[in-house]
Chains A and B, each alone.
Chain A
Amino acid sequence: MTNPTSVSSAGSWLLAALLLLPLLGAVVVVALRGNDGTAKAAALGFSVVEFVLGLVAWFRFEPSGARLQQSFSFDWIPSFGVHISFAVDGIALVMIAVIGLLVPLVIGAGWADKLPEGRSKGGFFALILLEQALTVGVFAATDVFLFYVLFEIMLIPMYFLIGSYGGQRRQYAAVKFFLYSFLGGLIMLASVIGCYVMAGNELGKGTFDWATLVQVVHDAPLSTQIWLFFGFFIAFAVKAPLVPLHTWLPDATAEAPIGVAVLLVGILDKVGTFGFLRYLLPMFPDASRKLAPLVLVLAVAGIIYGAMLATGQRDMKRFLAYVSIAHFGFIALGIFAFSSQSLTGSVTYMVNHSIATGMLILVVGMVIARGGSTRVADYGGMAKLTPVLAALFLIAGLSSLSLPGTSSFVSEFLVLVGSFPNAPVYTIIGTVGMIFAALYVLWLYQRVMQGPLRGNALVGAAGGPGTMVDPEVGAKRAIGDLSGREKLVLAPLVLLIVGLGIFPKPVLDIVTPAVNATMCQAALVDPVQAVQSGERQLQCR
């Protein structure tokens, strides 16, 4: 079976290209920002090529091969043992692929958005490409120092994306987002330093190499582990976000432009849960086990709390944020329930949440673009005017409530079925969360899409009360259904939602070996062993 620390550098050029291409793209797009059209085309071009590269990386990845593949490394700060080293395992790879998928869609979705006065499309897309490069780096970094650096750096483009291109309260939201994450990151820095110092004491020379640190730190005494655990945990819990460290997300999501909200929820936040898997479990196995109940409480609290608050929101974008908080509760539940099923479920949840919630956000953005308001109360009966939009809204919503047949079901099922043996009570509460999920999704769908026409924009478009025209015909003329571009943006997501719902094996095959390796590193054993035969059994070398 996989050796948790084995590394293969075949195909490292691919990873290097994945990292550098968006960076190059950002530079080119900034250079072209004088002309909106060229800048947009360039941004889209770069992001599409990046996506293709991501696919190539996916297909060149050998699930049964080394844990870390396509690796490359060179010295950065030799006196501190800092390297610039990147590699991917199955978990990182799927996340990088998701980034590659979402960015072109976000660019496509933002194609015709009106930006605040004085801001250029080029700058907007360049920042998005920059953010892409940094997030790819975060997932691929195998040097903890490098990871930290990228973890903090990636706040900056996002800060500007929210602050420069966001809504009314964008300043507040941007600063809140930044400070929250930055504080979390700084606390993590303390732990990073702690690990480094431990390695220095143990090995004679400090190192930041992830695999080495795992070896060094995971035998540390429990009390030390707990302190170090908390440093990382708080950073990741802010990013994920877990209740009660979540309050930046609704503000940030509400104020961010739609595409940025997709990146924020779909990619940036995943770094937190990715960190749980990549750093907390392997490096602090004892502390993870000890503190699992705490995390589980926060996780299920998030599931219920996020869901209830989602139903209580009046603003659609805030609604989306709370929905995500509930979903992140599931991811955290799966990770800290310590079975290979639940862990695999969490990883696929990360992927599927990006796809499903990403789509939901994009769709809501299209609704908002038509109704001109983010308030739920300003909508009603849109399905009559925009049936295609309504259908896609429903698909995204159903995926969000994890209907079987959508990809989210596979992950939610895995999380819950895998969590149940180790954490039955938490799982039961989490399962009850399914009801809430249905409640908030269908509530929003009903308010926005069903019932009679409501809201100033829609009724106004219909010509207002008392006009001779059939109000629906009038409104239909004023508020069009999805354009070809919008359909093109959503189509890949729908395909993936359904495709991975029916046939998730390609993702599972890539993720499971990495999860198994993580389980081995954390010295975790599956609570349910195979009944049919031993071949599916988890074996650590």
Chain B
Amino acid sequence: MSVMTSVLVLAQAQPAQPAKIEAPPIGAIWPILIVLGAACLSVLFEALLPRHLRWPAQVALALLTLAAAAVKLVTYVSDAPAAGETAMFGTLAVDRPTLFLWGTLLALTLGAVLLIADRSVEPGGAFVASAAIRPGTVQDRAQVASTGMQTEVFPLTLFALGGMMTFCAANDLLTMFVALEVLSLPLYLMCGLARRRRLLSQESAVKYFLLGAFASAFFLYGVALLYGYAGSVRLSDIAASAAGSDRSDTLLFAGMGLLVVGLLFKASVGPFHTWTPDVYQGAPTPVTAFMAACTKVAAFGGILRVLQVAFGSTQWEWRGVLWGVAIVSMLIGAVLGLTQTDVKRMIAYSSVAHAGFLLIGAIALTDKGLSGTLFYLLTYGFTTLAAFGVISLVRDSSGEATHLSQWAGLAKRSPLVAGVFTFLLLALAGIPLTSGFVGKFVVFQAAVASGMAPLVVIALIASAVAAFFYLRVIVLMYFSEPAADGPSVTVPGAFTTAAITLGVIVTLLLGVAPAFALDWAGSGVFAIH
């Protein structure tokens, strides 16, 4: 509940007459409250429930929470003010983009929770029975065979989700910082919880944590400098100061630079992506799915808001720099993806390239750019989620078989899985009739409309390069002979099936009939108060 308190304290500092404080209107932020409340409840479950009840209880709680939050969200949307409103004394802005992002996050988390909860693909689930067990020991080998799992992953997921939702609604930088930590810290932990290959899992946790903390420091220093510049951390105040302040612009731009670096890190935009491949590879696959889909959504939600609300008026100074960043990110993702031999790492580099595409939409700074980026996030999230879901199915005796050579001839073993994965890869490549194409299209369209045609051409070339590594997997699956002792495809249980199906259906639906989602994404802009 730290967010709540922080918000209250900060709010008290702002008004001139503290006596007039009223109870904050919370109708708009029920979804956040539900998620965070459920997270706390979930912690209590861990503490109080007997071990064998925890898993069912946690799963039920998580699913119920998501459902309740979604219901609240939907009921709120139906009569929400079109221009959006602020809540919690202006620290949270609940406007159309926020609502869209919340909806996206809730839906993606549903998929992620389903993957996390699955206990059929890997008997007992993808998570270690007890995080305290040292890898390589007798206990470790025992826990691999056991069916228990560390159910703390559920509260951690809910906390992270709460942080993400707050992050994209945050209307001032301090709230944003706190939300950033709330979403990050659980993820650091979740990365280290894999049942198998624990060394890799722990390593990824350490790397993610150290780099994440490092990036947070940058972010925070940026906040400080901007505070120094504007005298406030509220986004609208910064925008107002940027329009006419007598302070040195050095503070503004240095602060902005540091802030943006922190955000870009979270969004795994190159060259701040270095954690991405290692962490994606090392983390348990359901967590990778959650991280890849939801963190990206939240981070870009924050980036969009910061750039549009706080720095819209200075865009001519910084836009060129972010052009460069976008190009670097696309090229790094596309080129380094070419030679990857691990499926998860490959998708990681793909996500770096996608981050570059998303950044193009984010720096378009138009309504079209906003709605396009939002739509892209939606499409990308579901596709990635499903892709990692499929990756978790291809296994051999030592767990997931993520090395590409093990995927050779998969289509002969399991045409369905190969077909689904092919479809998802094509979506990632941006082939028409998949959501990936529509997403790219709307983003690039917005970019061209705001005069970034050269950037779009580079992006398209990068897409073509990236298409190669997606194709390589398809070639391996379809046109190569399977290895004699290759991996088998596990028949997934209901949870994983549901998650993959969700992702695939959304990918297809948004590719074939994207109109309704485009309308949602374009239904409103950021509230500036």
Contact = CB atoms under 8 A, between A and B. Distances in A.
A adjacent to B, CB under 8 Å: yes
A160 interface: yes
Contacts of B441: 189, 193
Nearest to A196: B445
A252 to B, nearest CB: 14
A179 B431 contact: no
Contacts of A76: 513, 515
Contacts of A79: 515, 518-519, 522
Nearest to A195: B448
A80 B437 CA distance: 14
Interface string B202-222: 000000000000000000000
Instruction: Name the prevailing secondary structure of the B interface residues.
Output: helix
B433 A153 contact: yes
A138 B147 CA distance: 54
B145 interface: no
A153 B512 CA distance: 12
Interface in B447-503: 448-449, 453, 456-457, 460-461, 463-464, 467-468, 471-472, 474-475, 478-480
B445 A193 contact: yes
A78 B444 contact: no
A54 interface: no
B426 interface: yes
Q: How large is the interface on A (under 10, 10 to 19, 20 to 34, 35 or more residues)?
A: 35 or more
A425 interface: no
Interface string A164-203: 1000001100110011001100110110011011001000
A118 interface: yes
Given A153-B432, A182-B467, A196-B445, A190 B457 contact: yes
A313 B429 CA distance: 35
B452 to A, nearest CB: 11
Contact of B432 (A75, A148, A159, A194): A148
Contacts of B478: 160, 163-164
Interface string A144-155: 000011101101
B431 A170 contact: no
Contact of B480 (A156, A171, A183, A186): A171
A445 B460 CA distance: 44
Interface in A77-134: 77-80, 118
Contact of A190 (B433, B438, B460, B480): B460
A175 B471 contact: yes
B15 to A, nearest CB: 41
Contacts of B472: 175
A190 B440 CA distance: 11
A178 B422 CA distance: 14
B445 A197 contact: yes
Contacts of B464: 179, 182-183, 186
A77 B479 contact: no
Contacts of A160: 478
Contacts of A200: 449
A483 to B, nearest CB: 31
Contacts of A227: 453
Contacts of A159: 471, 474
A153 B460 CA distance: 16
A350 to B, nearest CB: 24
Contact of B456 (A75, A80, A190, A196): A190
B432 to A, nearest CB: 4
A225 to B, nearest CB: 14
Most chain A C-beta atoms within 10 Å of own C-beta, residue among B412, B432, B453, B464 = B432
A158 to B, nearest CB: 13
B475 A186 contact: no
A178 B518 contact: no
B426 A156 contact: yes
A175 B467 CA distance: 10
Given A77-B515, A186-B464, A193 B456 contact: yes
Contact of A118 (B412, B456, B468): B412
B186 interface: no
Contacts of B445: 80, 193, 196-197
B471 A187 contact: no
Contacts of B515: 75-79
B282 interface: no
Interface of A: 75-80, 118, 148-150, 152-153, 155-156, 159-160, 163-164, 170-171, 174-175, 178-179, 182-183, 186-187, 189-190, 193-194, 196-197, 200, 227
Given A149-B437, A196-B445, 12 more contacts: A77-B515, A77-B518, A78-B515, A152-B432, A155-B431, A163-B475, A164-B478, A179-B464, A183-B460, A189-B441, A190-B453, A190-B460
Interface of B: 412, 426, 429, 431-433, 437-438, 441-442, 444-445, 448-449, 453, 456-457, 460-461, 463-464, 467-468, 471-472, 474-475, 478-480, 513-515, 518-519, 522
11 contacts: A76-B515, A79-B522, A80-B518, A118-B412, A171-B479, A174-B475, A189-B444, A190-B457, A193-B441, A196-B445, A200-B449
